[in-house]
Amino acid sequence: MNIILLGPPGAGKGTQASMLVDERNMIQLSTGDMLRDAKTSGTAMGKKVAEVMDRGELVTDEIVIGLIREKLEGDKKGGFIFDGFPRTLAQADALAALLEEQGEALDVAIEMQVNDDVLVERILGRAAEAVAAGGTARADDNEESLKIRLMAYYKQTSPLIGYYYAKGQLKSVDGLGKIEAVKAEIAKALK
């Protein structure tokens, strides 16, 4: 089974992806992780990624698709969870073409719906708890950064909700429920 988790920053995509990896033997394809791994891999693609990132530039869609292609050609286990990709309609089209080329298909895009005000409160609370426990909060877990990240999400990524809805591949879950409740809703969406 191949799925996409959609939702704004802080909606819990990473938490839910980790549980799917553990329980369904799926492979989480996080573009951020893949880029960091590629940068230090020494492969031809990795050298290309390192050069672009070292110049402080954004990695092209072509490079990201190349990294995803490499992963799809390996062990498929229980399928793939696309986390952080696609972010745009062009990337969604590129992913669909790549999956078809590999003899794969997208089974479902799961939208983790949230209320922005509650989401901001949740993330700021998480940051405060981390500091109170003697740790540190993520550098981007502050109200200003959150609003910028949410704006970027709505401008770039939210059109994917309509895209996958039109293809009959969208399922929505309440992303603000308790972790186990969200997990149960996702399990129901995967049936």
Residues annotated as catalytic are 13, 87, 126, 138, 149
Q: Specify the DSSP class assigned to residue 141.
A: -
Residue 123 neighbours by CB under 8 Å, 6+ apart: 9, 10, 141, 146
Scan for tokens 């799926």, then name that residue. Answer: 26
Scan for tokens 């609370």, then name that residue. Answer: 125
Distance CA 142, CA 154 (A): 18
In this structure, what token pair is assigned to residue 1? 């089974």
- CA 139, distance to chain mean position in Å, is 19
Q: Are 83 and 13 in contact (CB under 8 A)?
A: yes
